[in-house]
Amino acid sequence: MVEAGSPVVRTKPSRGVPPDALDLLPQAFNRRDAESQDRPISSPPGWRDRLRRGLAWARTCLAEESEYGHLFYWAPVAMGTGAVLWFSAEWTPSTLYIGFIFLLASIAARVWRYPRPAAGLTATALALLCLGALSAAWETERAGTIILDVPVTTTVTAVVTGREAVAGGRWRYVVEVVETTKPSLKRMPKRATLTAPGASSPVALGATIRGRARLLPPSGPALVGLNDFAFDAYFVGSGAIGYFYG
């Protein structure tokens, strides 16, 4: 019984905690741990996935280049690659086989151009590779430079076709060899680069020069991957280098 005038004290009703609440919390955490354990772990992509992504990326790039009309610019690249492969071969490739492959690839590129663009593009690239290799073979045959086999000392009679000053007041001459004597060379190079010793006055272009000279084959690369002077000399037509004795 509450007396009159006494203050009224209001208390908040206590919220009862369900008896099973404490038991439900561990079960909830355990369920989350079980779900995380059952979830499969993603493994890193294998080589097949990488290959598939690479092919998809290549197709996207080719489609973009084709839309802008830039595929034609890759034709010299393909031909140059074919020429490099031909020159890099350990033996001389057969031009007959290369020509046959070029013919088949050209026909396939023509037939598959619209029905199967990807196959037609591949055939076109193969045809351009073969065309570059055939061009390298033709240029090699066209040059036909006679390269000196072994070093030799002989008397050279030649016509001066070019000259340049070098260190020490000497002159380097590009000559068209007319004759060699004492000894006479059976495989005489048609052109040679010879250096005259001493600070003598230069010989006029077109003049005939005669003297005892030491002829050497053009040197190859000093190390693998360096400049091959024999390769350069072959395609400029110079079959020998050397110097006059006096």
Domain termination site, one of 80, 110, 143: 143
Asked if residue 169 and residue 123 are part of one domain, the reply reads no
Does a structural domain hold residue 10? no
What is the pTM assigned to this prediction? 0.63
Does a structural domain hold residue 36? no
pLDDT at 73: 84
Q: For residue 196, list its beta bridge partners.
A: 171
Does a structural domain hold residue 166? yes
Range of the domain at 71: 65-143
Pairing state between β 191-196 and 240-244: parallel
Asked if residue 115 and residue 74 are part of one domain, the reply reads yes
Q: For residues 123 and 129, give the distance between their C-alpha atoms in angstroms, rounded to a whole number.
A: 10
Q: What pLDDT digit, counting tens, does each position of 38-63 carry?
A: 555 556 667 788 888 888 887 787 77
Domain termination site, one of 143, 171, 196: 143
Q: Which of helix, strand or coil describes residue 90?
A: coil
CA 59, 64, 68 angle in degrees (round to 5)?
145
Does a structural domain hold residue 60? no
Per-block mean pLDDT, blocks of 10 residues, the chain (246 long): 50 52 51 54 71 84 76 88 91 91 94 85 92 94 89 94 86 92 91 84 90 90 77 89 88
pLDDT at 2: 47
Asked if residue 172 and residue 120 are part of one domain, the reply reads no
Domain termination site, one of 94, 122, 143: 143
Does a structural domain hold residue 182? yes
Q: What pLDDT digit, counting tens, does each position of 89-113 carry?
A: 888 889 999 999 999 999 999 998 8
Asked if residue 239 and residue 156 are part of one domain, the reply reads yes
Asked if residue 139 and residue 181 are part of one domain, the reply reads no
Asked if residue 124 and residue 76 are part of one domain, the reply reads yes
Those residues whose C-beta lies under 8 Å from the C-beta of residue 147, and which sit 6 or more positions away, are 189, 217, 218, 230, 233, 234, 239, 240
Structural domain tally of the chain? 2
Q: For residues 234 and 240, give the distance between their C-alpha atoms in angstroms, rounded to a whole number.
A: 9
pLDDT at 34: 52
pLDDT at 168: 78
Other C-beta atoms closer than 10 Å to the C-beta of 47 total: 7
Does a structural domain hold residue 50? no
Asked if residue 187 and residue 135 are part of one domain, the reply reads no
Asked if residue 132 and residue 205 are part of one domain, the reply reads no
Q: Which residues of 82-92 are buried (b: 16+ CB within 10 A; e: fewer)?
A: bbeebeeeeee
Asked if residue 136 and residue 177 are part of one domain, the reply reads no
